[in-house]
Structure 1
């Protein structure tokens, strides 16, 4: 027993911060650590013991603790703090993270590794990655569009780079009570093999690949309340719905459909993350197309195994027709104008008129073939078909007019004029000569007027369709 009557503080040596206490009948002085220093060493030792619990639990056996008590005389203050730290080390991991009273000078927090080991591998918690966190699990989807690299008319598809973000709740992974050192836990793709995930995919994609430069671009974040954020960067090729009736003033719709591959609506409910389910990093502009709109929708698809939530995002692209104006429409104007030159060469210049007309028709045919060779083989009429075929019709009509002129000139040169018919033939020659010149004169006016009416009708109809589609 301690002789409390002999215990007193001795400040005679000037040790204000390190006071001494005379304890016991021996009358010897013993330095006693102050309260903050004891708390510091206690916390350090407790952290060390918890971190290395697997081998410290085997080292500090009951027999060893009894010997430790006998050696340090448990009635002494410093020994009490040391033995307290030893007992803390014996607390099981499942209880070691519970909040405890800490000194005001130092607070203990749990690192990421300790938290994950506790959540996933503690036998007391018995976490099962194959078990649904809830029934059903609500999974929210958000897409970040980084780039659209191409839109192809021949294969009727498009390539897109985007980030797929998934959000759901898993109460078994909540760790608020474990005093985490950080506000969230971040992991790479390897963590997906250890927790439950909704197994979502693009079911209508022609191909899809997660970027792996310089490493697999998968990101996983777990929040203290059990919320999980999964993000993966993917390059996907999806189908496009094309109606080339108004080509090249048409618009193309490309879509991607997202769903959980393994779980139906009774197990997983898929939803768009509101209020912005789709985010564009920048304006999407390609050499041939410009993205003008996008929309999202949710439908329930019926399969043999039940109903599945399908999330569809539709991207609308408007074709840039500047290239077709330069390569198709303007050269067509020039070719048709050239085909009208023979109307001014006179009825007798048959060879020159024939050469100009035939070359104009060949030029129209070449221009038409150069444009449609990069288009899919569809069985309906396109706007470019109407334009090119109409232009070829006007050129062909100028050749028909040339044939009529040649036929009328041929009648003028018939041989063997009989005397008795001389008067009749003179009367017939004058009107015939007048008719060829008159025909050229009529063609000079009729061809431009009819072609102008066709242009007004063509552009008003198709450009009106373009404006109507954009407003939708």
Structure 2
């Protein structure tokens, strides 16, 4: 009997506990409902019809002066940086914050931290625009990516996600060893600095997403600054962000510089071919020249037509000159070989005439000896005949001894191993072309790699 009474009391206590829990939950739910109703009442109180006019700007500090709007950005991604269009695309979260004392409300002892709106036309908005914008759009998937928060002290925070295509004037004199500065400019369209002033938010006004990857550039750093502009209608507040991009050189080294070097070196192969291999040397020179021209036109197609000379123009122009020079060298060798053949034929004809003259002299001397063989006394002539071979030999020896002796020259001695001028031209080209190209590389890379950043 006692056990049954204890069980009854336990069940009764459990029932009372569950009933208390249900009552507290219902009261909390009713409190939340009442609290949301209070939010509605606050919104109606501060934004109700006839109570707030979004057309009138808020007053400044202490009710006087211009309205102060603080700006901060979060760069989510940088899609493309176009050299030929001189523009870049960026996606960012844009935030504005200002104080509007007309929107103050009771926070109910800290329980109501802020009010959230999704309609920007309900409150006054700064007339900010991006002065170097080409195209832009908002993001509306799944809902419009925008919100407005109103804090109890009247502070308003406006945040929106937007994508912009912005103009970026570039200086391509050092392309592709250059650095580019692309700006993001924000200014007031209608309110002058007497009514509206933009300021960067204190602390960290610009933030960039971690692990930002760009196809051909690296974001080195970014700087914030002010760019107020004066026009005929007044002075307007302006903010700007300068993004410093460094071009990745490895892509251009693999795609442009190394192939051009290979084409130049291939054009030198003709110096080692035989002079008589005319079809091989001509086809090699013409092929490398056309390939180099195609490479140059492909590079220029991806760049805007500018009036100044770029670093890549110097490189491709000199490489094209070397390839063209190799082709002209073969033309010179071919002309020299024909001259060598004509000179050889002329020398052969002279040697033949000299042999004929010597043979005629020997025949005349033998005839003279035959006629005087029957004489009793043979008288030796005091003066030899002009055509006598012994006289000719002594004349040559005298000319050799009388000629001025020149000091031996190593270059001339080395070149004397190659009897023809055409062969000498080929040998000299084998050494001259690589040396001049190596000197050009030394000057080129030392000029563009170690140039001061101020000139970039």
Q: Name the TM-score, length of structure 2 as normaliser.
A: 0.73
Q: Residues 304-343 of structure 1: matches in 2 within 5 Å?
A: 304-343=232-271
- 1:109·1:180 contact (CA, 8 Å) conserved in 2? no
Give 1:93's aligned residue: none
- CA–CA distance in structure 1, aligned partners of residues 117 and 66 of structure 2: 25
1:434 is the counterpart of 2:420: yes
- CA–CA distance in structure 1, aligned partners of residues 223 and 111 of structure 2: 41
- 1:151·1:158 contact (CA, 8 Å) conserved in 2? yes
When residues 417 and 130 of structure 1 are mapped into structure 2, their CA distance, relative to the original with a 3 A threshold, is closer
**Partner residue of 1:133 out of 35, 39, 58:** 58
When residues 431 and 279 of structure 1 are mapped into structure 2, their CA distance, relative to the original with a 3 A threshold, is closer
Give 1:115's aligned residue: 42
When residues 321 and 403 of structure 1 are mapped into structure 2, their CA distance, relative to the original with a 3 A threshold, is same
- 2:86·2:167 contact (CA, 8 Å) conserved in 1? yes
How far residue 307 of structure 1 moved from its aligned partner, in angstroms, is: 0.9
1:371 is the counterpart of 2:299: yes
- Deviations along 1:181-214, one digit per CA (max 9) or x if unpaired, are 32111221x1x22211212221221112111111
- CA–CA distance in structure 2, aligned partners of residues 122 and 411 of structure 1: 104
Other structure's SS at 1:447 match:
helix
Other structure's SS at 1:264 match:
coil
How far residue 455 of structure 1 moved from its aligned partner, in angstroms, is: 0.6
When residues 424 and 166 of structure 1 are mapped into structure 2, their CA distance, relative to the original with a 3 A threshold, is farther
How far residue 139 of structure 1 moved from its aligned partner, in angstroms, is: 0.3
- 1:168·1:228 contact (CA, 8 Å) conserved in 2? yes
1:452 is the counterpart of 2:379: no
Q: Residues 257-276 of structure 1: matches in 2 within 5 Å?
A: 257-276=185-204
**Partner residue of 1:204 out of 113, 132, 136:** 132
Q: Which has the higher contact order (CA 8 A, sep 6+)?
A: 2
1:401 is the counterpart of 2:318: no
- CA–CA distance in structure 2, aligned partners of residues 162 and 419 of structure 1: 86
Give 2:102's aligned residue: 172
Root mean square deviation, CA, Å: 3.1
How far residue 470 of structure 1 moved from its aligned partner, in angstroms, is: 9.4
When residues 384 and 425 of structure 1 are mapped into structure 2, their CA distance, relative to the original with a 3 A threshold, is farther
Q: Residues 47-58 of structure 1: matches in 2 within 5 Å?
A: none
Gap regions ≥5 residues in structure 1: 1-39, 52-107
How far residue 435 of structure 1 moved from its aligned partner, in angstroms, is: 2.4
- Deviations along 1:224-277, one digit per CA (max 9) or x if unpaired, are 111111101111111102111111112222222112223111111111112211
- CA–CA distance in structure 2, aligned partners of residues 419 and 230 of structure 1: 99
Which of 1 and 2 has greater Rg?
2
- 2:340·2:421 contact (CA, 8 Å) conserved in 1? no
Q: Name the TM-score, length of structure 1 as normaliser.
A: 0.71
- CA–CA distance in structure 2, aligned partners of residues 396 and 425 of structure 1: 45
Gap regions ≥5 residues in structure 2: 1-23, 60-64, 356-415
- 1:110·1:179 contact (CA, 8 Å) conserved in 2? no
- 2:181·2:244 contact (CA, 8 Å) conserved in 1? yes
- CA–CA distance in structure 2, aligned partners of residues 471 and 245 of structure 1: 9
